[in-house]
Amino acid sequence: MLTLRLASGREARLLAGHPWIYRNEIARVDDEGEPGAVAHVLDDRGRFLGQAMVNLKSQIAGRLLTRGEESIDGAFFARRVREAVGRCGRSVSGPEACRLIFGEADHLPGLIVDRYGDLLVIQILTAGMERVREAILAALRDATHPRAIYERNDASPRKLEGLELRKGFAWGEGETSLWIQEGGLSFSVEVAAGQKTGFFLDQRENRQVVKGLAAGRDVLDCFCYSGGFTVSAAAGEAASVVGIDLSAEAIAWAEQSAEQNGLFSRCTFTIGNAFDALRTFDREDRRFGLVILDPPAFTKGKQALEGALRGYKEINLRAMKLLSPGGVLVTCSCSYHVDPPTFLEMLRAAAADAHREFHLRELKTQAADHPILLAARETQYLKCAILEALD
């Protein structure tokens, strides 16, 4: 067994429940081994703290698997997968589309698994999980009995771990285009070509909020992707809904979903830049009763935070100006580097510059099947603020 010894005084985060060890917190690793190998973690006095997957090529050099001295084998991973699948809101008989495994929050660091009916989609983001890929696939087959398992191992974090990018069927075969049911609506999902694993499952509960806010309003959905918010707003009896996205492919999926639900007549979809569209609507003096902003993460790291906040402020300021009196802004950020206090402060600055006053009706987060590990704030990445214009 490899041994990782922490530098003096660097054990506090682990003892508080956080699962990460940064490279600069390590005093030494006895016989480094292959990237992703499991090591015993000791403090500077030799006290046992747990077992972690270790990759010194990554800034996050250690990811804790367990705080015990148990065997890390196929039975270990089978048990962890069963526990994750059995958490609240998840099961093979639960929501037709849901997240089954959410990395560190499910004590399986670097592993994401989403379920779309009888198809599983996995992302392996760390060298440690790559080493036990076959054990994970076997555990998933035993726990969920899927038709097939598709890999979306084309995410950029793999590069930081020294891993190749790839995608395709890891087990089984079949179609990658499918339909899912959510809140009484049908949505088109393409797991091979779509964003993330095909659909933004983390916004499921927030889409229901939008559905309840939309009645009688003219709605603008920026960064609409495959139409999750757009179709939900139309189903909520919106007077009209405009969906905008830069991707022609995403717009095509959104149109399919609107048509499938008999809501196409209320929806207008446009291929375009949301920043430009917001400026154009302002020049045209066009107003909306509900504006939705769900942009991609503007920053993947702390070094780009200042620029990201400028981008967030610009789109929110422009959206605020487009709201009719009593209008509602549903605005999101999916970057964990923008924490909730920073996000709200940006919204306060945008409202001041827009010369408008708002009530914060609610500040929501990701769906419950994306659990938040209390000791690791990085697992709470999604912010969704619901603001009501007072003028």
Could you list the active site residues? 334
- Contacts for 300 with CB less than 8 Å, ≥ 6 apart: 156, 335, 337
Contact (Cβ atoms closer than 8 angstroms) between residue 134 and residue 141 = no
Contact (Cβ atoms closer than 8 angstroms) between residue 387 and residue 328 = yes
- Contacts for 203 with CB less than 8 Å, ≥ 6 apart: 228, 229, 294, 332, 366, 367, 382, 384
Calculated CA dihedral for residues 320, 321, 323, 326, nearest 10 degrees: 80
Q: Where are the alpha helices (DSSP H) in the chain?
A: 12-15, 74-85, 127-131, 133-144, 157-160, 204-213, 228-235, 248-260, 274-283, 305-322, 340-354
Q: Mapping DSSP to helix (H, G, I), strand (E, B) and coil, where does residue 308 land?
A: helix
- What is d(CA 190, CA 62) in angstroms, rounded to the nearest whole number? 34
CA distances from 212 to 235, 327, 328 (A): 9, 14, 12
Instruction: Single out the residue of 88, 17, 78 nearest to residue 371, CA to CA.
Output: 88
The single-letter DSSP state of residue 363 is E
For residue 155, count CB atoms less than 10 angstroms from its CB and return exposed for 0-12, middle for 13-18, buried for 19 or more: middle
